[in-house]
Each structure stands twice: as C-alpha cells, then as structure tokens.
Amino acid sequence: MTETLERGVTPVLVKLWVKDRFGQEGVEKVTARLEGDALDMFENPVSNNWYPVTYLKQIYSAISDEFGKDKPSLFTDYGRFDAENSTKGALRFLMRLVSGKNLIKRVRTFWKHYVKGASLDITDIKKKDGHTEITLVMEGYDAGPPGCRAIEGYIQTLLPKAGVHDVKITEKTCIHKGDDICSWLVSWDEK
C-alpha cells in the first residue's frame, strides 16, 4: 500500500492556526504533546516538503487532546482557516468567475498538488433549478476524524468564494465509523 503524503503547506497553516486561535502558549502546549518526526514537522514545517499524513494525524490528535474536548467544531474552524489562507490574491479573484460546480470539479486537481497517495473525487452531480448537489468521495486519506472535519470546513468556505450560497455538507460515510471510504453530500444554490 502506498504511503499517503501531504505537502508541507498544511502543517505550516496548522501551526499558524493554532497560534492565531490559542496564542504562542497554545503552540507550546501542542508541542509538548508531540515527539519524533511529528514534533519536527510541527515545529519546523517546510511548505515544499512532503510528509506522511500520519504525522498530521498525530498533530491533530495533540490539538484535539489539548483544546477539543468540548469543541466538536474545532477542526471545521481549521478547515475554514485553511481555505481563507490558501485562496488569496489572484486566485480569490478567479474563483469569482467560475460556477460552484466548476470550482468543485477543480478541487480534485487542486487536491493532487497537496496530497499524494489518496484521491478526492466528485460523483452524482445533480443540478435542478439553480440547486446543485454532489457527492464528494475521499479514498486513502486518514488524518483521523479531525481531518474529516477540516475537509468539511474547507468546502464550506471555498464554495461561497464562487458566489454560491446556502452551502450544506453532510457526512455520508466515514472510515472512522467502519466504512471503506469517507464521503459527503454537498449542496448549494447558485447566484
């Protein structure tokens, strides 16, 4: 089985998010819970490097243990933060020019620039009266349950940048609940 790798942009943003939400003290608390390669990745992330997703899973677990006991939406917030910080400048302008459907179709291409050894696909595209519904399917990626919540927050924030509204994302299947894949029903209304 191929090891799933994540580009270093993600750990850079995770550390930035922890500092933004919990301050330098929060960064130090997460650091104290990590060891080995996951600790090195968190302390000194290099955006162009590729890291095993298992390191990210350890970091997410440390953050969850430290701050997430009573915050089920903690990693949804991270996903939103990631989407806001990775879609700036010219990219943000270009996103306004495409439909939600075309944007979501490009997500899988975008995904390949940041993740190796896992796939993100769109199936069951249905469009009627300005309402679009798709199934988003993720295979081979396991950053723990927080990784699934981060994907949800990312999509919830990304789609409105294409001018859509009333974005809803509902988990259909999850590897952490015994399913073979993670999938979500995603729907929105066009402009």
Residue 17 falls inside a structural domain = yes
CB 15, CB 42: distance < 8 Å:
yes
- Residue ranges of alpha helices (H) inside 90-143 are 90-95, 100-112
User: For residue range 62-85, what is the model confidence (pLDDT) as tens digits?
Assistant: 999 999 988 889 999 999 999 898
Whether residue 185 sits in one domain with residue 103: yes
How far separated are the first and last CA of the chain, in Å rounded?
43
Closest CA to 125 of 101, 149, 108: 101
Question: Does residue 137 sit within a domain?
Answer: yes
Q: Report the pLDDT value the prediction gives residue 95, as an integer from 0 to 100.
A: 57
Among 20, 44, 76, residue at a domain's last position: 76
Query: Is the residue at 130 inside a domain?
Result: yes
Q: Are 52 and 106 contained in the same domain?
A: no
Q: Based on the domain organization, do 178 and 117 belong to the same domain? A: yes
Q: Please give the pLDDT value at position 93.
A: 52
Domain harbouring 129, CATH code: 3.90.1520.10
What local confidence, expressed as pLDDT, does residue 42 receive?
98
Position 87 scores a pLDDT of 75
* 52: in domain: yes
Whether 114 and 185 share a structural domain: yes
* Domain interval for residue 33: 5-76
Task: Say yes or no: 111 and 60 in one domain.
Answer: no
For strands 119-128 and 131-139, give the pairing: antiparallel
Tell me whether residue 146 is in a domain: yes
The tens digit of pLDDT for each residue in 130-143 reads 899 999 999 999 99
> Which residues, given as ranges, of the chain have pLDDT below 70?
1, 88-101, 191
Distance of CA 61 to the CA centre of its chain: 15
Q: What is the count of structural domains for the chain? A: 2
